[in-house]
């Protein structure tokens, strides 16, 4: 049983991974990224999340490696604290309480006991860069109130601050100003570009800055797509800059390589540009990264880069500009038209993803499984262009079918509407387009619902629309001469007094269909499509309809635009109308989020919980997830995110539900055949020889230091002999021949056999006799005799 006190609201995913620059570990094995009020630690090789560092009480705004200990990580947050972590073990070491809202974090090797943060003290739009001294103390929580002012009137974004030439100076950009502070001279130089009043220089605004690691060179990105390289900036009059221009839109971020020989830039073109030797002619590209590049990071070892993108993903890139790993979070969409759904097959959360796609998101592992391209058109990133939008989606027949609706409307009279039905293909492990219906209704579709009752062999779909009709679609033969093709066709059209149809829902057994027409609810027989009854209580326009399940299947629930819930008893046709705030609710949870909750969904549990309290029994069979305005995903749980992490072996089990890749068709069947052969070998009673690494001779050879081993000529024959042992037993068919050969040599081995049986008899007289009661088969005795022939005397030389 689970104690009710242990149930709490837990953030389980969905937070922005691209809010700040990602940070690499010193050995490039791990990559760190902020995720709401957590810090996630991912493996750069497997993409797996290995740790979740939790302890901040508000949004994490900055992370940096400890320059004095490469196994530790600093983080800062809006909660006014700087925390020091051991990221290898996922342990919080110290908390430094600054007491101010911290917007960004920077560290320098030369500043051993200090970190740099961005704060705002007075006006909301005035930010300062200050140095915070971190006191040394044995206590875990320490106050850090000693601040030293560095720069004023800066941008709050960490992309607009950069330290250069091993910490000799810091550069900051804002609007049309570049400020450079020199630590040794304690002076500030400020440079200004032409303002927007001049049409020729209307987009000179600074957007980001990066400093050369070893030289006095500053790179700045601008709104017009240009990159400026500043030199001689220690003199206000002799400074110079040169321009690099490739981006057609604003430069989103810049980063120098570790040696400073290359400059990386990215923007809305979704292309990573490498400027080698900072020249216009010598540049390389990594195109088609999928979304706007928000941040660029470089590993301390210089072997890896990474880009953070607007679709909430991080791409790890090798030094030769080849992508090696993708860490994909919940894709942020401006509007979630489809709502939250659950894929019956994978139990994944399904909702709008990147434009024109449905994303399948694993709730157990907080990562995207895959995207399904619905619109199947190239997306053009143009703010003035009216895009095709994916507005509705619904699963049916236990995940065998998927219905989607897409629309585009430039004017009120120019509506483009299309409905697609997708069939799940077991071979490809994905959905394949089966039927496309142009203009299924004359106006916007308001709802989709499948009949999922087991007694209905023929799949049925119902759509409702603002045109005043609902339509019933059934799966039929698609007039294929081989009678193998199937397609969807309209079987029935219903209406009610020309009211707009706002929602529809099937009962659990599929016998009834409920369709709401504005404030009126109609009940239809699903076999004859006859109108059975209507509920005309004026409680407001119906927004949602839902039948009860199991013992509550006789009830129909409706939610109105006036915030009222209606419950009809379909047996007695009685109506109960109540507001959620007035009757005694089953459960109340206050302050579940700092922002508005927009969507919620129940997800069935694989293993039911055992809550005994009446207040929590609604969580026994399913888990409730809800999505906030910023698309943070929260749930009621007894486990923290760190406790929910699964080992790699369990992680691989979750990936079995992924769509089959082209590599599977190349290697998958071959591996399956290998697995079948291995299983057949285990099922047979053949005695297999152990793997070579389990042979003592080889283990000693591999684990003994080379400088104490005998000469190679002495070991060669013994070593090769041990490797060739596995050749003597080949297959089940050849074993009888081997047995005959052994029988022919019985006389030669009789002495060995006698010695062997004598030793067994001796051991039977000891206290360990119970372990040797098992009678060895003839084949087992044969294999043991073979091992006795191997000469291990060379080990004594060691």
- The answer to whether 336 and 305 are in contact (CB under 8 A) is no
Cβ–Cβ under 8 Å, residues 518 and 562: no
Residues ≥6 apart with Cβ < 8 Å to 544: 503, 558, 559
Among 36, 85, 45, 81, which residue's Cα sits nearest to residue 65? Answer: 85
What pLDDT was estimated at residue 796?
A: 60
Q: What is the pLDDT of residue 798?
A: 55
In the structure, what pLDDT confidence band is assigned to residue 151 with cuts at 50, 70 and 90?
very high
CATH architecture observed for domain 341-547: 7 Propeller (2.130)
Q: Indicate if the pLDDT at residue 681 is higher than 80.
A: no
Q: Scan for tokens 């570990």, then name that residue.
A: 25
Mean pLDDT of the chain: 81
pLDDT band of residue 187 (cuts 50, 70, 90) is: very high
pLDDT of residue 739: 42
Query: What is residue 268's three-state secondary structure?
Result: coil
More confident of the two residues 120 and 757: 120
**For residue 43, pLDDT beyond 60:** yes
Lowest mean pLDDT among 17-26, 227-236, 622-631: 622-631
Which of the 8 DSSP states describes residue 529? -
Contact 274, 302 (CB under 8 A): no
Q: What is residue 419's predicted lDDT score, i.e. its pLDDT?
A: 95
The larger pLDDT score, comparing residue 551 to residue 515, is at 515
From first CA to last CA, the distance across the chain in angstroms is 58
Q: Could you tell me the two tokens for 290?
A: 């999928």
> Which residue, among 101, 93, 25, 9, has the nearest Cα to 55 in the 3D structure?
93
Nearest CA among 168, 171, 106 for reference residue 132: 106
Share of the chain above pLDDT 70, in %: 77
155-327 falls under which CATH superfamily? YVTN repeat-like/Quinoprotein amine dehydrogenase (2.130.10.10)
Answer yes or no: is pLDDT of 1 > 80.
no
**pLDDT, position 623:** 86
Would the pLDDT of 434 be above 70? yes
- Give 484-526 as a 3 state SS string: CCEEEEEEEEEECCCCCEEEEEECCCCCEEEEEECCEEEEEEC
| Highest-scoring range by mean pLDDT, 156-170, 234-248, 592-606, 766-780 | 156-170
The least confident of 70-74, 342-346, 658-662, 784-788 is 658-662
Q: Is the pLDDT of residue 78 over 60?
A: yes
pLDDT of residue 69: 92
Binned at pLDDT 50, 70 and 90, residue 773 comes out as very low
Please tell me which of 231-245, 286-300, 558-572, 611-625 the model is most confident about, judged by mean pLDDT: 286-300
Q: What is the mean pLDDT of residues 117-140?
A: 88
Q: Identify the CA nearest to 407 among candidates 370, 360, 440, 450.
A: 440
Beta-strand (E) ranges in 90-182? 91-97, 104-106, 114-119, 127-133, 141-143, 147-154, 161-164, 169-174, 177-182
pLDDT of residue 698: 63
Give the per-residue pLDDT at 688. Answer: 44
CA separation for the pair 271, 286 (Å, rounded): 6
Are 523 and 513 in contact by the 8 Å Cβ rule? The answer is yes
Give me 553's structure tokens. Answer: 């299947």
Enumerate residues 6+ apart whose C-beta is below 8 A from 119: 100, 101, 102, 103, 127, 128, 130, 147
Average the pLDDT over each of 24-33, 165-174, 455-464, 725-734 and give the range with the smallest value: 725-734
Distance in angstroms (rounded) separating the CA atoms of residues 161 and 180: 10
Task: Bin 270: left if φ > 0, else alpha if -120 < ψ < 50, else beta.
Answer: left
The more confidently predicted of residues 703 and 372 is 372
The continuous run of DSSP H or E covering 702 comes out as: helix 696-703
Starting at the edge strand found earlier in the chain, the sheet holding 23-24 runs 23-24, 30-35, 38-43, 49-54
Give exposure, 272-299, as e/b (b: 16+ Cβ within 10 Å): bbbbeebeeeebeebeebbbbbbbbbbb
Residue 770 CB-density burial (10 A; 0-12 exposed, 13-18 middle, 19+ buried): exposed
Least confidently predicted of 36-40, 331-335, 758-762: 758-762
pLDDT at position 775: 61
| Residue 568, Cβ density class (10 Å: 0-12 exposed, 13-18 middle, ≥19 buried) | buried
* DSSP output for 307-359: EEETTTEEEEEETTS-EEEEEE-PPP-S--TT--EE-TTT--EEEE-STTEEE
Q: What are the strands of the beta sheet with 104-106, ordered from one edge?
A: 104-106, 114-119, 127-133, 147-154
Report d(CA 792, CA 697) in Å as an integer. 7
Residue with tokens 């705004």: 61
- Give domain 17-150's CATH architecture: 7 Propeller (2.130)
Q: Give the DSSP H or E segment for 274.
A: strand 272-276
What confidence category does residue 502 fall into, taking pLDDT thresholds of 50, 70 and 90? very high
Count Cβ atoms within 10 A of the Cβ of residue 717 and give its class: 0-12 exposed, 13-18 middle, 19 or more buried: exposed
pLDDT at 719 exceeding the cut of 70 = no
Instruction: State the pLDDT at residue 689.
Output: 44
For the chain, the residue count is: 798
What is the average pLDDT across 596-620?
Answer: 82
The band of 734, judged by pLDDT with boundaries at 50, 70 and 90, is: very low
Paired with 347 in beta bridges are none
pLDDT at 627: 87
Confidence class for position 668, pLDDT limits 50, 70, 90: low
The pLDDT value recorded for residue 641 is 66
According to the model, what pLDDT value does residue 111 have? 86
Q: Which residues pair with 489 in a beta bridge?
A: 474
Of residues 413 and 34, which shows the higher confidence score?
Answer: 34
> Does residue 735 surpass a pLDDT of 50?
no
Report pLDDT digits (tens) over 453-479. Answer: 877 778 999 999 999 999 999 998 766
- The Cα 73–Cα 65 span in angstroms is 4
Residue pair 195/176 in contact (Cβ under 8 Å)? The answer is: yes
Answer positive or negative: Cα dihedral of 529, 530, 532, 534.
Answer: positive
Asked whether the predicted pLDDT for residue 653 surpasses 50, the reply is no
Q: How many CA atoms lie within 13 A of 770 on its CB side?
A: 1
362 has pLDDT over 50 = yes
Query: Quick check: 695 pLDDT over 70?
Result: no
Cβ-contact 238, 230 below 8 angstroms: no
Three-state DSSP at 295 gives: strand
Instruction: State residue 613's pLDDT score.
Output: 75
- Give the dihedral of Cα atoms 491, 494, 500, 503; nearest 10 deg: -60
State the average pLDDT over residues 756-760: 44
Rg of the chain (C-alpha set): 34
pLDDT of residue 757: 45
Q: Does the structure show a pLDDT above 60 at 690?
A: no
CA angle 189, 193, 195 (to 5 degrees): 130
Q: Judge contact between 696 and 792, C-beta under 8 A.
A: yes
Query: How many angstroms separate the Cα of 762 from the Cα of each of 353, 756, 757, 766, 784?
Result: 73, 10, 9, 7, 17
Please give the structure tokens belonging to residue 269: 């073109």
Q: Work out the number of other CB atoms within 10 angstroms of the CB of residue 337.
A: 16
**Cβ atoms within 10 Å, residue 215:** 12
DSSP per-residue codes, 189-240:
EEEE---TTSGGGTT--EEEEEE-SSSS-EEEEETTSEEEEEE-TTSTTT-E
Give SS3 for 760: helix
Identify which has the larger pLDDT, 152 or 574.
152
667 or 768: which carries more pLDDT confidence? 667
**Coil/strand/helix, residue 479:** coil
3-class state of residue 304 by DSSP: strand
Of residues 634, 591, 589, 637, the one with CA closest to residue 611: 637
225: left (phi over 0), alpha (psi -120 to 50) or beta: left
Residues with Cβ < 8 Å from 328, sequence gap 6 or more?
312, 313, 367, 368
The CATH 2.130.10.10 domain(s) of the chain lie at 17-150, 155-327, 341-547
Query: For residue 201, is pLDDT > 70?
Result: no
pLDDT of residue 72: 95
- In whole angstroms, what is the distance from residue 662 CA to residue 658 CA? 12
Which H helix or E strand runs over 681?
helix 669-683
pLDDT at 14: 77
Give residue for tokens 């030389």.
797
pLDDT given at position 606:
80
Question: Angle 442-444-449 (CA atoms, 0-180°, nearest 5)?
Answer: 105
* Backbone CA torsion sign across 558, 561, 565, 569: negative
**What's the confidence (pLDDT) of residue 699?**
63
């Amino acid at each position: 049983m689970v104690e009710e006190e242990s149930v709490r609201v837990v953030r389980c995913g969905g937070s922005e991974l691209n809010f700040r620059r990602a940070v690499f570990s010193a050995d490039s094995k791990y990559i760190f990224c902020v995720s709401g009020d957590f810090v996630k630690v991912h493996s750069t090789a497997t993409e797996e999340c290995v740790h979740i560092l939790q302890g901040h009480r508000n949004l994490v705004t900055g992370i940096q490696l400890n320059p004095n200990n490469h196994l530790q990580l600093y983080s800062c947050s809006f909660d006014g604290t700087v925390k020091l972590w051991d990221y290898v073990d996922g342990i919080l070491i110290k908390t430094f309480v600054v007491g101010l809202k911290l917007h960004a974090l920077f560290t320098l090797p030369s500043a051993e006991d200090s970190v740099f943060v961005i704060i705002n003290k007075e006006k909301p739009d005035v930010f300062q860069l200050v140095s915070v001294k971190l006191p040394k103390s044995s206590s875990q929580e320490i106050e850090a109130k000693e601040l030293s002012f560095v720069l004023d009137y800066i941008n709050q974004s960490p992309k607009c601050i950069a330290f250069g030439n091993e910490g000799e100076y810091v550069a900051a950009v804002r609007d049309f100003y570049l400020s450079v502070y020199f630590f040794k001279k304690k002076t500030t130089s400020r440079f200004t570009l032409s303002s927007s009043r001049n049409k020729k220089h209307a987009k000179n605004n600074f957007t980001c800055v990066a400093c050369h690691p070893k030289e006095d060179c500053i790179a700045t990105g601008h709104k017009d797509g240009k990159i400026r390289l500043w030199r001689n900036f220690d003199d206000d009059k002799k400074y110079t800059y040169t321009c690099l221009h490739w981006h057609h839109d604003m430069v989103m971020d810049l980063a120098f390589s570790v040696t400073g020989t290359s400059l990386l830039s990215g923007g809305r073109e979704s292309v990573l540009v490498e400027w080698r030797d900072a020249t216009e002619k010598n540049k390389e590209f990594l195109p088609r990264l999928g979304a706007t590049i928000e941040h660029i990071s470089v590993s301390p070892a210089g072997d890896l880069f990474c880009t953070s993108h607007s679709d909430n993903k991080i791409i790890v890139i090798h030094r030769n500009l080849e992508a090696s790993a993708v860490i994909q979070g919940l894709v942020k969409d401006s509007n979630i038209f489809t709502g939250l759904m659950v894929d019956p097959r994978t139990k994944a959360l399904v909702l709008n993803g990147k434009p024109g796609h449905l994303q399948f998101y694993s709730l157990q592992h907080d990562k995207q499984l895959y995207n399904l391209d619905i619109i199947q058109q190239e997306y053009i990133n143009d703010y003035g262009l009216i895009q095709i939008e994916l507005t509705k989606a619904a699963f049916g027949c236990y995940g065998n079918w998927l219905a989607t609706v897409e629309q585009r409307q430039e004017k009120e009279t120019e509506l483009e509407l299309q409905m697609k039905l997708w069939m799940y293909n077991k071979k490809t492990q994905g959905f394949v387009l089966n039927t496309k219906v142009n203009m299924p209704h004359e106006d916007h579709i308001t709802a989709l619902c499948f009949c999922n009752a087991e007694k209905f062999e023929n799949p049925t779909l119902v759509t409702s629309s603002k045109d005043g009709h609902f339509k019933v679609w059934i799966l039929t033969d698609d007039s294929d001469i081989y009678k193998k093709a199937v397609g969807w066709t309209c079987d029935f059209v219903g209406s009610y007094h020309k009211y707009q149809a706002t929602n529809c829902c099937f009962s659990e057994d599929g016998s009834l269909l409920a369709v709401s027409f504005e404030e009126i609810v109609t009940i239809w027989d699903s076999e004859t499509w006859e109108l059975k009854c209507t509920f005309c209580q004026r409680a407001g326009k119906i927004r949602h309809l839902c039948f009860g399940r199991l013992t509550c299947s006789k009830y129909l629930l409706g939610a109105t635009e006036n915030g009222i819930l209606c419950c009809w008893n379909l047996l007695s046709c009685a109506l109960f109308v109540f507001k959620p705030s007035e009757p005694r609710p089953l459960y109340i949870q206050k302050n579940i989020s700092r922002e508005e909750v927009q969507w919620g969904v129940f997800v069935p549990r694989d293993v039911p919980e055992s809550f005994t309290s009446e207040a929590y029994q609604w969580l026994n069979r399913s888990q409730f997830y809800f999505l906030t305005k910023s698309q943070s995903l929260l749930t009621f749980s007894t486990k923290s995110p760190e406790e929910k992490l699964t080992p790699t072996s369990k992680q691989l089990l979750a990936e079995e539900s992924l769509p089959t890749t082209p590599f599977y068709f190349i290697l998958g069947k071959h591996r399956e055949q290998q697995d079948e052969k291995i299983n057949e070998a285990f099922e047979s009673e053949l005695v297999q020889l152990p793997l070579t690494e389990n042979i003592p001779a080889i283990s000693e050879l591999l684990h003994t230091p080379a400088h104490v081993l005998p000469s190679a000529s002495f070991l060669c024959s013994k070593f090769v002999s041990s490797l060739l042992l596995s050749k003597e037993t080949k297959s089940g068919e050849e074993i009888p021949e081997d047995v005959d050969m052994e029988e022919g040599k019985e006389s030669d081995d009789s002495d060995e056999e006698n010695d062997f049986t004598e030793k067994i008899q001796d051991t039977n007289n000891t206290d360990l006799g119970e372990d040797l009661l098992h009678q060895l088969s003839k084949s087992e005795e044969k294999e043991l005799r073979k091992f006795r022939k191997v000469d291990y005397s060379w080990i004594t030389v060691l």
